[in-house]
Amino acid sequence: MKNNAIPILGTFALLLFQSLESSAAPALIPQPAQMEIGAGQFTLTAQTRIVFTPEAKEVAAIAEYLAGHLRPATGFALPVGGQTGAIGLQLDSTAKELGAEGYRLKVIPQSVTICAQQPAGLFYGAVTLLQLLPPEIFSRQAVKGVAWTMPCVKISDQPRFGWRGLMLDVSRHFFSKEEVKHLLDAMALHKFNTFHWHLTDDQGWRIEIKKYPQLTQAGAWRKDIGFGLDPKSSTAYGPDGRYGGFYTQDDIREVLAYAQARFITIVPEIEMPGHAGAILSQFPDLACDGKAPGELGAGVHASVYCAGREDTFAYIENVLTEVVALFPGKYLHIGGDEVPKDNWKKCAKCQARIKAEGLKNEHELQSYFIRRVEGLVNAKGRTLIGWSEIREGGLAPRATLMDWIGGAVEGANGGHDVVMSPTSHCYFDYCQSQRRSREPRSIGGYIPLRKVYDFEPIPAKLAPEQHKHILGAQGNLWTEYIASLKHVEYMAFPRGAALAEVTWSPAAAKNWDSFVQRMPVHQQRLVAAGIGHREFRAVEETPAGEWKPKQMSTEFKTLTWDLTALVKDGGAYAAEFVYNRGKCGIALRSASVLQNGVEIAKDVHDAFAGANSRKNIYTFKLPKPAPGAKLTLQASLRSDGGTDSAGQIFVSPAGK
């Protein structure tokens, strides 16, 4: 265990790691805190047995989990239990330095040993053990012709952050309990430990509340899939053809048990005081105007509880009583984001509440609402967590903040715990490529894999003594335009692998070049495990140029972009005009390629690049550029419907 030592901490260690042959270091994701690579290897055989100590139920379950992942691909029996065996799991209460989730893993030619202070650490050690084997180990079918070996290593590992999360919105689009379990399996592979389950919103109520059965009998369904999506992009339809679905309380208990076996805590979100369309559709008396918001669907946005009615808080308490009885975790998420206040301004009861409580405005009324709900949550032994907007009017005294649009520094300085989830790095519903025409439909934005990997959860302006308040980070999957598990996985991975390393590995161990070297093997794991994903790309395609609002005119004009660096050989090329933002698009009528100012190819046809692009690709047959020649692309275009259009042009060999 002394060859190629890799203590993955500090600059020297990173340089040492980079100097090794890529084959020398196991392709582990996330990267462990400390690892030494030794000589030789351990071979898993039909005679291998898994043993554990102490004889505790939770430790036995981890041993069975490990065996359950080793058996299908190998075909080996791999019995669990007994006094001696080649793979050993051991709890050691004296290993305080490992914390609640840390572990030590030692592989020598004769045996494998995992040691941890707590069961969670044993579980994460087991996940690392699986990653040390060939990626085919994650197959659920027998795989022939594979040598089931792992390199001799000595690993001491523990996570950097205690909150390593993913959020799934099941309100906009519904995902079955089996699909949720599949996502939990993918999370376990990456050592995520928190699943944020967004269960209610304007478009659907997904959790059974026995006191209010109409919430799921009617509030979980809408007439169609909505959001302009193909109805066939989801299978979540009831017998009557309505779109939606919900989880019974038994379903939730089943998913909870599945998550707990993988050491994943589920944080439920019951949205309030805004995003309440599904509730108010069934209980219009809780709205300021006493009216239901209308047919559930994409158009319901301005729904908000009346903050002046006492029965609002009685209803919320009844709902939260059943939610807390189901979910044993510390946190209960109440949303609190994007609260429309126009109804409150016009509502006599809300205005009376403002006056009676001595509040200044509707922002302080929102704070009053959140504080009052926090009292209900705290009384049930839970901690309230909400999005950035729960700061409006003053943050509730014991609340935890989930920062998506700011407030982390202020919250932490005020003694509040914070989970980092900014739109800049953690919104996995955003595009992964600037060339959106080649990506599934999305809500917009652009967060490539590299940007996720470069995320630093500790805000730069936060004083070191307040770093303890940053619990970790979370990736969010809002599902307005994501209606299938396949699409969820495409958006989540491999960006989820990058976030896993951000939240688990020491900051000094983060190294993009190393991550790039490890990802091809990790992608093989995803394939073997049946986890959908976007194909790994170390570098995204670079646009040839862009157009901006300041260049726009309602009259046709010619714009020019340099192609010299992109076109090195002759052949067929395509130039695609990709609209990114603005109220309008651009109309085009021709595009040309010039060499040293002389036209060498031209395509003439009417096209439009906008929200609904038409014929926005121009093709050219180009000769091999002359040595030292400058190539440019010209297009005749105008803004259509305004002058705020912005977009990019991508030029590549035709068919690529």
Q: For the chain, what's the residue count?
A: 656
Give the tokens for residue 289.
């105007």
Closest alpha carbon to 447 in 540, 332, 381, 379: 540
Q: Nearest 5°: phi and psi at 351?
A: -65, -35
The SS3 assignment for 141 reads: coil
What is the Cα–Cα distance from 495 to 135, expressed in whole angstroms? 19
List 58, 254, 338, 640, catalytic entry:
338
Which of these, 141, 135, 186, 195, lies nearest to 168 by C-alpha position? 195
**Residue 98: Cβ-neighbour burial (10 angstroms; 0-12, 13-18, 19+):** buried
Annotated catalytic, 333?
A: no
Catalytic residue among 36, 136, 169, 201: 201
Under 8 Å between Cβ of 279 and 208 = no
* Of 535, 539, 513, the residue nearest 524 (C-alpha): 535
Classify the phi-psi angles of 415: left when phi > 0, otherwise alpha if psi is within -120 to 50, otherwise beta: left
Q: Is 201 a catalytic residue?
A: yes
End-to-end CA distance of the chain: 47
Q: Coil, helix or strand for 346?
A: helix
Q: Are 168 and 140 in contact (CB under 8 A)?
A: no
Which H/E stretch holds residue 60? Answer: helix 57-74
Known catalytic membership, residue 322: no
DSSP 374: H
Instruction: Look up residue 623 and give its DSSP letter.
Output: P
Residue 81 region by backbone torsions, left for phi larger than 0, else alpha for psi between -120 and 50, else beta:
left
Place of tokens 């792992």: 150
Please, which residues bridge with residue 34 across strands? 156
Q: How far apart are CA 526 and CA 301, in angstroms?
A: 37
What's the token pair of residue 625? Answer: 């550029």
230 burial type by CB count under 10 A (0-12 exposed, 13-18 middle, 19+ buried) = exposed
Surface-to-core class of residue 15, CB atoms within 10 Å of its CB (0-12 exposed, 13-18 middle, 19+ buried): exposed
Of the residues 182, 196, 198, 275, which is catalytic? 275
Give the whole-angstrom CA distance, residue 352 versus residue 290.
Answer: 17
SS3 (DSSP) at 618: strand
The residue type at 138: F
Asked whether 339 and 361 are in contact (CB, 8 A), the reply is no
In degrees rounded to 5, what are phi and psi of residue 3?
-85, 145
H or E element, residue 490: helix 485-492
Contact call for residues 380 and 326 (beta carbons, < 8 A):
no
**Three-state secondary structure string covering 98-129:** HCCCCEEEEEECCEEEEEECCHHHHHHHHHHH
**Pairing outcome for strands 87-91 and 50-53:** parallel
Spatial strand order of the sheet with 545-547 comes to: 545-547, 646-653, 571-581, 617-622
Active-site annotation, residues: 201, 275, 338
